[in-house]
Structure 1
Amino acid sequence: MQLLTAIKYRKLTPEQLFMVSVLAVNGGNYLYNLILGRLLGPTAFADAAVLITFLLVLSFVAMTFQLVTAKFSVLFENELFKNFIARVYQQAFAVGIGLGILIIAFASQLQALFNTSSSTMFIIFGCGVPLYFLMSVNRGAFQGKKAFKSLSITYQGEMLSRLVITLGLILLLDIQSSAVIAIGILLSFVFGLFPFKMKQISFKKPAALDAKYSKQIKNFFLLTAFYELTQIIINNSDILLVKHYFESYEAGLYASLALIGRIVYFIAWMFVMLLLPAVVELKKEGKETASVLFKYVGYIAAISIVIVFTCLAFPELIINILFGEQYIAMAPLLWKYAIATSMFAISNIFAYYYLSLDKYVPVIISGVFGMLQMVLVIFFHDSLEQVVHMQIVAMLLLLVIQLSFFVFDSKKK
């Protein structure tokens, strides 16, 4: 209601502007996936889903650098910040080059592992990885400094360019190759770099940071890297495992189910982006932080309830509108998948809250249950329905444990 009032009187705060922007970006990304699903059909869309999943995996890996940059952009100022940001850019670019080379070198093996029609799409994708890491550090600096207008522009640029370029190549040139999708993704990284502050990049060796700060950065980086690894496992292992164990047609059907069901998580990510700098700043000022957590958990819980009940009441209508008649077999599983992602989204808010406070137990908990989800799917995948049920079991346990830890931690305080 506050957001609608602000829009009405054109008095959007930077945070509200960013929330509107993220909703638009998520809507654009959904449109991109939905159009691909309709144009390509289930079998060809399975290949596209692998690339999209690789993009999500890359975003979680690069998010480690973005969150580290965001946190210490709040804490560091002046020369200390300049040395820190130059160092992070150098390290992120080096990691991006390393990962890109690995993807290119093992493109043929990746094609065999995920049963894709071509290895070229992995080679093209690998070329864009270093750019994505630079983009993520740039976004982290905007996030930490609460420059939400610039942060919004980078996300809008990436989304819009990928949508226009990919669909333009498919529709105008009538090319339905997975390589075209990879080209669209690669070029979107270039557009996502802007606005970019070149002066923050230095090719010289930056001045050494104080040992106290270096240790603080290293600890948070390792903690964040571990948590982002759990995010990769929980968010993407099911699609990749289904692509491995099932035929391309079934994998394409499942990809459509995952895309619709994960809308809760993508909306939740908007609140995570606002949560981290807010909690770090409150902690820095010695103020209580739990009220921020309660606010965002309340938002996600309310959104989750609406989405789950909508998926339960109108599953066939939703799938028919979004993907078309050929995907309708997934209708009975839609509300179940939405429940799994809703529980994960709420658990995620708790984990990022404690990550902001440098507490590692919830991160380890997420890692354990991320592995549990993958193990359950590996051993129980007789049908797509069973795959979804295994995720519900893992995410229910994760949410219960995260809530229990919060209650225990609050009582201890």
Structure 2
Amino acid sequence: MQILAILKSKKITPEQLFMLSVLAVNGGNYLYNLILGRVLGPAQFADAAVLITFLLVLSFAAMTFQLVTAKFSVLFENDIFDSFVSKIYKNSLLVGGIMGILIIAFASQLQSLFNTSSSNMFVVFGFGVPLYFIMSVNRGVFQGKKAFKSLSITYQSEMLSRLFITLGLILLFNIQSSVVISVGILASFVFGLFPFKFPKLISKKALVLSETHSKEIKTFFIITAFYELTQIIINNSDILLVKHYFEPYDAGLYASLALIGRIVYFIAWMFVMLLLPTVVQLKKDGKETAPTLFKYVGYIAAISISIIIGCLLFPETIITLLFGDSYIAMAPLLWQYAIATSMFAISNIFAYYYLSLDKYIPVVISGVFGMLQMGLVVFYHDNLEQVVHMQIIAMLLLLVIQLAFFKYDQIQSKKDSV
């Protein structure tokens, strides 16, 4: 009660409440992964890591719809907004349905490609894909309208349901199967839909959008889809490639390393969620946007440095506390992987900033270096240490190029304003 009274007296803003919620969601997702790692062990956790990676890939693909919805929820109003939302719900359902069918149809091939123990886990996962796309559009509306309370609820619902349902099935019924994990993921998509305003799925005021609006939406959608594809490659290709090239035990060890090292990126994501609608609104109002970028880059840089130092000084303690002694072999690589993800997280802030301003060169840059990272791992994977080093090289080059573009863009802006 005393804590609640303090929170009320401090008058926490909706943005701060959302940031706290995102931290709680990330913490819950980490707990989910950590318990799976401890309960299943390295070899079985490798299968779970494939499903978790598929979930991350799906989240990036659906994020295209969420970001498009968020941006134009700021720009559009009244009947135009209703028409836009109706259309994007239908398109997301179509794309999600096609992706789900493809995953189900190629479940056996996916099992062979990633050396998993079952193809059924992909089948169950495929049924949930359309739900995730609808959920992402719903979140995009909340994000664009800055309805952070509703946005927080949908993220909390997804995380908590996945955590309790999955772990409940494993611990209560002693079922250690990858299919159980996919069932928990599917159930979380259902819970993550709420709060959801069903009438918006088929708008009664569905107007035909003007050619100008349609072109603007398509351009932003294509560019965002391309950028999210680069996010998928950079964020997840290493785990999938390691699962393909290495034995299950080594793949499980690497999955634990990736999970710990990526904490920087997951923390950075909450700033991205706040950055996009804020920058779009500032641009719409004719105000300066660079100070907002500097603020968020500063936050991410400070968090990144703290995490890297912690991973460098206490790697064995961190791995033992989070995953247990079975994963201790990854301790020497922990700080190195954290460096790679930190550079990516900072580069990501710049890319989303320019995406919000309809400047797409940083998106292309990210695509180039995403492919470079994947290519380096494909050709250089003699051991797990080499895999990490290839990512450091790619992400260092990406960050340098993004900073160089920012400097160039600032110089050009000053020249244009003179």
Task: Give the alignment's TM-score, normalised by structure 2.
Answer: 0.97
Q: 8 Å contact 1:37–1:45 — kept in the other structure? A: yes
Q: Take 2:6 and 2:251, find their aligned partners in 1: how far apart are those partners?
A: 43
| Aligned counterparts, 1:274-293, within 5 A | 274-293=274-293
Q: Residue in 1 aligned with 2:137?
A: 137
Give, in angstroms, the shift of residue 7 of structure 1: 3.9
**Change beyond 3 A, Cα 1:191–1:156:** same
Query: Residue 170 of structure 2 aligns to which amino acid in structure 1?
Result: I
Specify the SS of the correspondent of 2:175: coil
Query: Residue 287 of structure 1 aligns to which amino acid in structure 2?
Result: K
Q: 8 Å contact 1:6–1:12 — kept in the other structure? A: no
Uncovered stretches (5+) of structure 2, i.e. residues with no partner = 414-418
Q: Residue in 2 aligned with 1:191?
A: 191
Q: Residue in 1 aligned with 2:307?
A: 307
Q: Residue in 1 aligned with 2:120?
A: 120
Specify the SS of the correspondent of 1:207: coil
Q: Residue in 2 aligned with 1:388?
A: 388
Q: Residue in 2 aligned with 1:176?
A: 176
Residues 1:11 and 2:18 aligned together: no
Give, in angstroms, the shift of residue 88 of structure 1: 0.3
Give, in angstroms, the shift of residue 199 of structure 1: 1.4
Q: Take 1:116 and 1:7, find their aligned partners in 2: how far apart are those partners?
A: 47
Q: Take 1:164 and 1:312, find their aligned partners in 2: how far apart are those partners?
A: 33
| Aligned counterparts, 1:193-208, within 5 A | 193-202=193-202, 206-208=206-208
| Aligned counterparts, 1:20-39, within 5 A | 20-39=20-39
Q: Take 2:328 and 2:367, find their aligned partners in 1: how far apart are those partners?
A: 34
**Change beyond 3 A, Cα 1:245–1:340:** same
How many corresponding residue pairs?
410
Query: Residue 308 of structure 1 aligns to which amino acid in structure 2?
Result: I
310-319 or 5-14: bigger deviation: 5-14
Give, in angstroms, the shift of residue 10 of structure 1: 4.0
Specify the SS of the correspondent of 1:338: helix
Q: Take 2:382 and 2:205, find their aligned partners in 1: how far apart are those partners?
A: 54
Give, in angstroms, the shift of residue 8 of structure 1: 7.6
For residues 101-157 of structure 1, the C-alpha deviation after alignment (integer angstroms, 9 at most, x for no partner) is 000000000000000000000000000000000000000000000000000000000
Give, in angstroms, the shift of residue 11 of structure 1: 1.0
Q: Residue in 2 aligned with 1:250?
A: 250
Give, in angstroms, the shift of residue 181 of structure 1: 0.1
Give, in angstroms, the shift of residue 166 of structure 1: 0.1
Q: Residue in 2 aligned with 1:271?
A: 271
Q: Take 1:324 and 1:172, find their aligned partners in 2: how far apart are those partners?
A: 22
For residues 247-304 of structure 1, the C-alpha deviation after alignment (integer angstroms, 9 at most, x for no partner) is 0000000000000000000000000000000000000001110000000000000000
**Change beyond 3 A, Cα 1:290–1:6:** farther
Q: 8 Å contact 2:282–2:289 — kept in the other structure? A: yes
Residues 1:367 and 2:329 aligned together: no
Residues 1:351 and 2:351 aligned together: yes
Q: Residue in 2 aligned with 1:230?
A: 230
Q: 8 Å contact 1:42–1:249 — kept in the other structure? A: yes
Give, in angstroms, the shift of residue 208 of structure 1: 1.4
Q: Take 1:203 and 1:24, find their aligned partners in 2: how far apart are those partners?
A: 34
Q: Residue in 1 aligned with 2:92?
A: 92
Q: Residue in 2 aligned with 1:412?
A: 412
Q: Take 1:313 and 1:224, find their aligned partners in 2: how far apart are those partners?
A: 38
Q: Take 1:292 and 1:316, find their aligned partners in 2: how far apart are those partners?
A: 37
Q: Take 2:6 and 2:295, find their aligned partners in 1: how far apart are those partners?
A: 19
Q: Take 1:187 and 1:156, find their aligned partners in 2: how far apart are those partners?
A: 14
Q: 8 Å contact 2:79–2:205 — kept in the other structure? A: no
Residues 1:399 and 2:407 aligned together: no
Q: Take 1:12 and 1:399, find their aligned partners in 2: how far apart are those partners?
A: 34
Give, in angstroms, the shift of residue 9 of structure 1: 3.0
Give identity over the alignment, percent. Answer: 78
Uncovered stretches (5+) of structure 1, i.e. residues with no partner = none
Specify the SS of the correspondent of 2:358: coil
For residues 167-215 of structure 1, the C-alpha deviation after alignment (integer angstroms, 9 at most, x for no partner) is 0000001000000000000000000000001111118893210000000
Q: Take 2:395 and 2:144, find their aligned partners in 1: how far apart are those partners?
A: 30
Q: Take 2:189 and 2:221, find their aligned partners in 1: how far apart are those partners?
A: 23
Specify the SS of the correspondent of 1:397: helix
Q: Take 2:323 and 2:53, find their aligned partners in 1: how far apart are those partners?
A: 18
For residues 324-359 of structure 1, the C-alpha deviation after alignment (integer angstroms, 9 at most, x for no partner) is 000000000000000000000000000000000011
Specify the SS of the correspondent of 1:9: helix
**Change beyond 3 A, Cα 1:290–1:341:** same
Q: 8 Å contact 1:340–1:392 — kept in the other structure? A: yes
Q: Residue in 2 aligned with 1:40?
A: 40
Query: Residue 76 of structure 2 aligns to which amino acid in structure 1?
Result: F
